[in-house]
Chains A and B, each alone.
Chain A
Amino acid sequence: MKLILIFLSASLVNNFVFTYFLGICPFVGMSKRVETAISMGMATTFVMTLTGGITWLIETYILNYFGVPYLRYVAFIIVIASLVQFVEMYIRKTSPNLYKTLGIFLPLITTNCAVLGLALFAILRDYNFIESLAYGFGAGVGFTIAITIMAGIREELRFSDVPKAMQGPAITLMVAGLLALAFMGFSGFLTI
């Protein structure tokens, strides 16, 4: 039950993009077309789930063992970056088709702050290994939902008569803001 709550909390109520405002860069950059947005979301979900697990292991068995929890940021960044590199190589070798859809997005995710944020939040909330995985998966699904909605709106936006002063980045940020407002409606549904 707690796993489901964690999953729902991370994906909807405390959506990483709309309530924590993490991962805005890929959220704005990759949301021009629904197709690419979904691919990006899938790749991010994949990396986030793995990150949730592996950073928990690092935190518990290395940082706490050596008594150096203040090295969290550095250690997590290194681990996430090399993990993504490794996964990219592995997918490229084993499944060229999956690489074509996910591969080009993987290097972009290395520096996605939502991934680091996820690892830090999971530690902050004292999740165990399975819970960290669920939290990572939920956060990834939340990111996918956010970026797909955004891409759908932006595809329609192309045909609308936007005032000249608001065209481009301005209207994109406004739409993102309104979406965030909509997601605020979830706040208070679940408390973990």
Chain B
Amino acid sequence: MSDLIAPIVSMGAIGAVLALILVIADRKLRVKEDQRVEKILEILPGSNCGACGAPGCRQFAEQLVSGEQGPAGCMAGGPEVAKKIGSILGVEVKVGLPQKARVLCLGGNLESQPRAQYEGIRDCQAVTLQSGGDKSCVYGCLGYGNCARACPFDAIEMTDNGLPLVDDFLCTGCEICVAACPRQLMAMKTEETKILVGCSSLEKGKAVKQVCARGCIACKLCVKVCPQDAIVMDGNLPVIDDKKCDDCGICVEKCPTDSLVENLINQLRRTSEKKKAV
């Protein structure tokens, strides 16, 4: 029986003293924090993507409370989060349509043959620095997946054809991939954009045709067939006026190289087996 007393007393004493110290410390050292920071933190996506400019979600919440940033600052959260933050802070929030990442190139490995064999660092930025990269089109997607690696939400996957595929259900429109692409081929589009121009080459038709099967050859057929006169040529690429476009799809049908595509928001879901399992 006496063997029991020593351990119980000693451990009890240690525990009690430590508990007392912690209780006192909690009372004395508590930092007064704005309640709203915690509330906002619960709403924020919590991926610490940094698109807002703050290092993480907590710092963003602190900046919101102190008024350094507006509720729309969270790119990843989009309009819904902005509205909720607005209601906590008591601010009216005007919201736009949710934006999704789109790839402005359709020339994968099948459509645009490589002009050299690249053996270096598997990184788009590094590839472009090697005399313009291994892709025969110097405007096209290099396919080394900087956007996919940069995406904090794992929404971008590289297809076997060497092009990024965006899953709209995961994409939050945070614009991280836009900054990650050394060729500026990622862009944010909303539902208002009905037709996408899937080529970014500024070259003339002949030069494009030599390097890519799906590049825009500047034939101006889309400009001619558009019943709404919504398409004009800017240099060697068509520009579609979203306000005039009524999504009739005639230009997509008529385009000889299939470089115009319908912008299907929220209809693209990736099919990779690996991602399905997760």
A residues near B (Cβ < 8 Å) are 58, 62-63, 65-68, 71, 74-75, 78-79, 82, 85-86, 89-90, 92-93, 159-161
Contacts and interface: CB of A to CB of B under 8 A. Distances in A.
Given A62-B10, A66-B10, A75-B11, A93 B31 contact: yes
Contacts of A159: 121-123, 126
A74 B11 contact: yes
A68 B7 contact: yes
A86 B21 contact: yes
B277 interface: no
A78 B9 contact: no
Contact of A63 (B10, B15, B25, B121): B10
B18 interface: yes
Interface string B1-35: 00000110111011100110110011001110000
6 contacts: A62-B13, A66-B10, A75-B10, A75-B11, A78-B15, A90-B29
Contacts of B26: 89
B37 to A, nearest CB: 14
Contacts of B122: 159, 161
Contacts of B6: 66-68
Nearest to A86: B25
Contacts of B15: 78
Contacts of A89: 25-26, 29-30
A156 to B, nearest CB: 10
A159 B144 CA distance: 11
Contacts of A67: 6
Contacts, number: 53
Given A79-B14, A82-B18, A160-B121, A66 B9 contact: yes
A75 B14 contact: yes
B121 A92 contact: no
Nearest to B18: A82
A78 B10 CA distance: 13
Give me the 8 closest cross-chain CB pairs, A-B, nearest first: A66-B10, A82-B18, A93-B29, A159-B121, A89-B29, A66-B6, A68-B7, A89-B25
Contacts of A62: 10, 13-14
B22 A85 contact: yes
Nearest to A89: B29
B97 to A, nearest CB: 35
Nearest to A92: B31
A92 B26 CA distance: 11
Contacts of B123: 159
A97 B121 CA distance: 37
Nearest to A91: B29
A90 B18 contact: no
B66 to A, nearest CB: 14
Contacts of B10: 62-63, 65-66, 68, 71, 75
A82 B21 contact: yes
B7 A79 contact: no
A90 B25 contact: yes
A82 B23 CA distance: 11
A65 B15 CA distance: 17
Interface in B103-153: 121-123, 126
A85 B29 CA distance: 12
Nearest to B120: A161
Contacts of B19: 82
A50 to B, nearest CB: 14
Contacts of B121: 159-161
Nearest to B26: A89
Given A62-B14, A66-B7, A92 B126 contact: no
Contacts of A92: 29, 31
Contacts of A85: 22
B27 to A, nearest CB: 10
B185 to A, nearest CB: 21
A89 B26 CA distance: 7
B154 to A, nearest CB: 14
Contacts of B11: 68, 71, 74-75
A78 B29 CA distance: 21
A79 B11 CA distance: 11
Contacts of A161: 121-122
A86 B23 CA distance: 10
A79 B29 contact: no
A34 to B, nearest CB: 16
